[in-house]
Structure formats: structure tokens, C-alpha cells
Structure 1
Amino acid sequence: MLSRTLLRSRIAAPRVNSLGLRFYSFSQEEQPRIRIGSTAPNFEVNTTQGKIDFHEYIGDKWAVLFSHPADFTPVCTTELGAFSKLKPEFDARGVKLIGLSTEGVDSHNQWIKDIEEVATEGEKFGFPIIADSTKEVAYKYDMVTEDDFKNLKSGMVATVRSVFVIDPAKKIRLTMTYPASTGRNTSEVLRVVDALQLADKRGIATPVDWTEGQDVIIPPTVSNEDAKAKFGDFKTVKPYLRYTKLN
């Protein structure tokens, strides 16, 4: 009889898929833990724009990785069309978009024709869609429901609507997860990118419902003297709540 240690090592060992790529087994104990600040798991996979290494795809840019349940579905069609139409805005912020479902490249390419017809007003679809047929990425990024996690070893599994904002250092900076029935707000994804990039650049925080151009918050760790030197005028509501405008 195999010892528990040996049996565990066999269960947790990476497997090789049809592309020759190695990935973890679908063991819940071995599943990567995705937290803000953790390194985004890397992977190699086929997409509608060819085979990619995810970290190489990000390069020195930011990235938004998001999953959708399935091709040729109504909510997903509206979402991917909206993201594609907003691609110039993401480009201007140095952000790469990349989508995902567990269906294949051929299916994605056929579906893109529908997206261009009904959701992009005829404009060319602008970013790659991952063909996660092995469910490697869905597993590593925990993109499935509790029930579907139990079925990862079977056929096509519908991923939930996960969103990951990843910075150039390949760190997870924000996560959002929606159920299959609820379409995402693309403007919110763009808004949080603006907030994250501004916080990195200027050392501030952003209040509720903040949008570009509105007042920002001075972190409590910054003294009044340093705040005056760094930001100029500011308004104190409470000693811990101070607003300022950025030029």
C-alpha cells in the first residue's frame, strides 16, 4: 500500500496536457491562493491570437484578465463587445485586456463574428480570448462555482465572471467576481484602474464613487506638514479624513 506522503505527492504532481504544458492537478489543497499582492499565476495557453505565455503577454504593462461562462451566450456577448469598444481607453492607460472561457479557439473565433456583428457596431474585436480547454487557468485563478469545481475533470465547465487587475510586477491588485447571471460594469473596471494607477503615482487614496478629476484622500500616515509640502492646500474633515485636489 502506498504511504500517504507518496500518494499525496502523486496526486499533487503537475500533469501534462495535450499542448505539452504542465499544470497542477485539480486538488483543492494544492490550488494557488489568489490574494491582493500575490503574484498572478503564470500559464501558457492557446488564444485567438496564438499561443502565449501570460507573464510575457503582460510585459511591462498592466493587464485585466476576465473570464466568461461560455461562447455564444447573451450576457457574455454584450460584455466582450463592451470591453472591445473600450479597448482604446485601456490602451491609453497601458492596460492589456484578455478574456477566457473553457471552450476552444475555433469556437471563440466563430463567436467573435457575432460579437462584431451585434456588440461592437462592426468594429474589429480587439483582444485575445484564452481557450482554457484544460481548465488550467480556471483552476489556478479559482474561476468556478463550488459545484463546478467538483466537475473540473469532466467536460466543458462554465466559468464565473471573474476579473483580475494585474500590475507590471505581475502582482494581483484587484479582484471582482460576478455570477453568470449578472453582467459586469466595464466602466467600473476602467475606474478602478484609474484609481490604482493614481494611488501608485501620487501616494493617495480614492473615496467612495471616485472618478477622475474629483478630490482624493490624503492617507492618515502622511502628516499635515508633509501633506502641505506634497499637495499644497487640503481640507480637514476629521484628523484622519483629509481631502485635496490634484493638479
Structure 2
Amino acid sequence: MPVMSLGDELPNFYLGNNVEEGNLHDFISGSWAVLFSYPRSFTPICTTELGRAAQLAPEFAKRGVKMLALSCDDGDSNKDWVEDVKTNAGIEGDFPIRLVADQGRQIAKALGLIDQDQPNDVTLPITCRAVFVIGPDKRLRMSLIYPSSCGHNFEEILRSIDSLFMVESWVVGTPADWKPGDDVMVVPSIPTKEEPTRFPKGVTRIPLPSGKDYMRITPHP
């Protein structure tokens, strides 16, 4: 089964859902996008996941990130289930996430999203819980894969997207538990002599027992 690696360009698959048409590359159209897959409609964890993603849709939109949700359900099933999701999440009006009905499993198989450890009551392969963050160049920039028993943390996905945006503009890295506004790390490839011009806010060094000069911190650019 093909597995997407970071930097791979995503296939230009069809985005059918009985309501909207088009393909992935046209949908992205120079923007960032996040595609997340879920096992099945009308199931409890998936209902909370899609609801939370919809609640945070304005935060994704504020960052210019388009949203797609993929499952192996049919389009009519998705359309009916969305009403349950909206009620459970307290959402009114149009649903802010584009749903992709992959009943034939072509997309899930192409992206390596089939859950090999699916529940015993499932007769056909279902999708795992995965998140793909896709850049404007249509290439995979980040991925997360969870088991079907564990729903995603969409605040963490937003945090990771903020980190990706940060390193697009600056040669820095974000440490564990980083959030926007926190200090960032100077990457090892930056020589000391370039610090004053690259990081005018200054660089702080953390002394370590090894004596190696690799822990360098600078304020948020």
C-alpha cells in the first residue's frame, strides 16, 4: 500500500460528495489545506471530532487553511450525519467543512489511510484517524495518525500549523509545547557569525554539561 511521505505531492483525486464536485488540486488553489480522515459516520468519536473541527473552522479560515474531511461513507449518509454533528456541537447554519465521500476506498488506499486494525464488526475496510496538512504547493507538510479509539486534538493541529507558518519565513524551530509568541530555537545550521543579522532581538545560550553550543533561543520574530 502506498504511504505518503513528507514532501510528497498529493494525488489530484476527485472530491465527490453528492453535493459538490471538483478535485483536490483545484480545491487547494494556492492555499494551505488540512485533510482529516475518520472511520465512519454515525459513530460517537467521529461525531465529536467533526464537531470540534467545525467549531474551530473560523481559526483555520483566519490562517487561510481550507478544510476537508474524508471517510468511506456514501454522500447521502454524510449529509444526514452532519445534522447530528451540528446539533451535538451546537453549530447552526451551513457546515464549514467540505466532506469527501470515498465509498470505493480509492483515495484511502492511495494515501495509505486504510485501518489495518479495524473493529471486528466492520466488513469492509475503513479509514483510520489521520490528518494531512498540505502546503500551497500541494505537498504533504505534516501528518498525524491515531487509532480509531482516540480522537484528534484540533488545537494541537492549529498549533502545528502555526509552527509550519513560522518556519516558512524564518530559519528557526519551535520547541516542545511551543505556542505563538513563545521563544523559538535557532537551528544548528545557522553559524554564530550570522546571529546578529538574522536575530536582531538577540540569542540566549543554554549551557549544557556536554559543553556543546547547540541550545540557542531567540524571541519570537
What is the TM-score of this pair, normalised by structure 1? 0.81
Q: How does 1:142-161 map to 2 (within 5 A)?
A: 142-146=112-116, 156-161=124-129
Structure with the greater relative contact order (CA < 8 A, sep ≥ 6): 1 or 2?
2
Moved more, 94-103 or 227-236: 227-236
1:133-155 residue CA offsets vs partner (Å, 9 max, x unmatched): 1101100111112356xxxxx96
Q: How does 1:111-122 map to 2 (within 5 A)?
A: 111-122=81-92
AA aligned to 1:210 is W
AA aligned to 1:162 is A
CA shift for structure 1 position 188: 0.6
CA shift for structure 1 position 243: 0.4
**Amino-acid identity (%):** 34
AA aligned to 1:240 is Y
Q: CA RMSD in A?
A: 1.7
Residue in 2 aligned with 1:211?
Answer: 179
CA shift for structure 1 position 158: 1.9
5+ residue gaps, structure 2, are: 208-212
Residue in 1 aligned with 2:220?
Answer: 246
Distance 1:203 1:92 in 2: 24
Change (3 A) 1:135 1:194: same
- 1:50 and 2:20 are equivalent in the alignment: yes
Is this contact kept in 2: 1:48–1:128, CA < 8 A? no
What is the TM-score of this pair, normalised by structure 2? 0.91
Distance 1:48 1:79 in 2: 22
AA aligned to 1:115 is V
Q: SS of 1:162's equivalent?
A: strand
AA aligned to 2:28 is I
Residue in 2 aligned with 1:230?
Answer: 198
Distance 2:68 2:19 in 1: 10
Is this contact kept in 1: 2:71–2:126, CA < 8 A? yes
CA shift for structure 1 position 122: 3.1
Q: Which runs of 4+ in 1 moved over 4 A?
A: none
CA shift for structure 1 position 49: 4.5
Is this contact kept in 2: 1:99–1:128, CA < 8 A? yes
**Number of residue pairs the alignment of both structures matches:** 212
AA aligned to 2:158 is L
1:43-100 residue CA offsets vs partner (Å, 9 max, x unmatched): 1131265112101101111111110000011000111011011111111111111001
Is this contact kept in 2: 1:220–1:240, CA < 8 A? yes
Distance 1:64 1:240 in 2: 33
AA aligned to 2:126 is A
Residue in 1 aligned with 2:210?
Answer: none
Q: How does 1:167-206 map to 2 (within 5 A)?
A: 167-206=135-174
Distance 1:172 1:121 in 2: 30
**Which of the pair has more CA radius of gyration?**
1
Is this contact kept in 1: 2:108–2:127, CA < 8 A? yes
Moved more, 36-45 or 114-123: 114-123
